[in-house]
Chain A
Amino acid sequence: LAKTTQPISMDSYEGQEVNITCSHNNIATNDYITWYQQFPSQGPRFIIQGYKTKVTNEVASLFIPADRKSSTLSLPRVSLSDTAVYYCLVGDTNSNSGYALNFGKGTSLLVTP
């Protein structure tokens, strides 16, 4: 499983755009990049997933350069409720037997007024 590296913590004010970058130098050809959000005492919640270039959904965008050795999660106009831990993970999502996610330390985002 590819190891990921992301900042331990980030601070932001409400209404700002937040970009969290994750490094995954050993990503394999079949690996997808998936981001999760976790609030205290809750399970991780899926945010977005991508393989290359850019992916956008209703809550975030994911930017992946051509070499796929890193990715950036972009949260537009964050609110106080976006305060959480964000995890970047890589793995082969199409593995028929499923795949275990190797969670790193994640990025603790604090949004203040």
Chain B
Amino acid sequence: GAVVSQHPSWVICKSGTSVKIECRSLDFQATTMFWYRQFPKQSLMLMATSNEGSKATYEQGVEKDKFLINHASLTLSTLTVTSAHPEDSSFYICSARDPGQLNQPQHFGDGTRLSIL
């Protein structure tokens, strides 16, 4: 079945550094991937839609210069949190679906726990 892999699973870094998170579709090509953020005891919130070969679409209130998204290939999307600060600490999750098959659900990565000191 469709598998989405996310890396790293846990990141701890100092305030002001930039952090890159990778999302890969392992056995299918994904023209579209989605990035979510989840704070403790809250639901997932969609941050942006990553489109292969074009600019990402950001949800209202999400700073595109803060959260850089690159979808350079059909199996890889990256989210870079630039100049991270403690308020950026959260659980980041990506998802994708196999567009080549009908009625297929979104599959999610295992998430990346980002802690900014």
Contacts and interface: CB of A to CB of B under 8 A. Distances in A.
B46 A100 contact: yes
B109 A49 contact: no
Nearest to B6: A43
B97 A98 contact: yes
B21 interface: no
A79 to B, nearest CB: 22
A103 interface: yes
A63 interface: no
B111 A93 contact: no
Interface string A48-69: 0101000000000000000000
Contacts, number: 70
A106 B38 CA distance: 13
A13 interface: no
A104 interface: yes
Contact of B34 (A32, A42, A94, A101): A101
B111 A42 contact: yes
A105 B103 CA distance: 24
Nearest to A108: B41
Contacts of A101: 34, 44, 46, 95, 106
16 contacts: A42-B110, A43-B95, A43-B109, A44-B93, A45-B108, A49-B105, A87-B43, A96-B99, A98-B31, A98-B96, A98-B106, A100-B34, A101-B46, A103-B36, A103-B43, A103-B44
Which 3 A-B residue pairs are closest in the complex by CB-CB distance? A98-B32, A43-B108, A103-B44
Given A98-B33, A98-B97, 8 more contacts: A36-B108, A46-B108, A93-B105, A98-B106, A99-B106, A100-B46, A101-B106, A103-B46
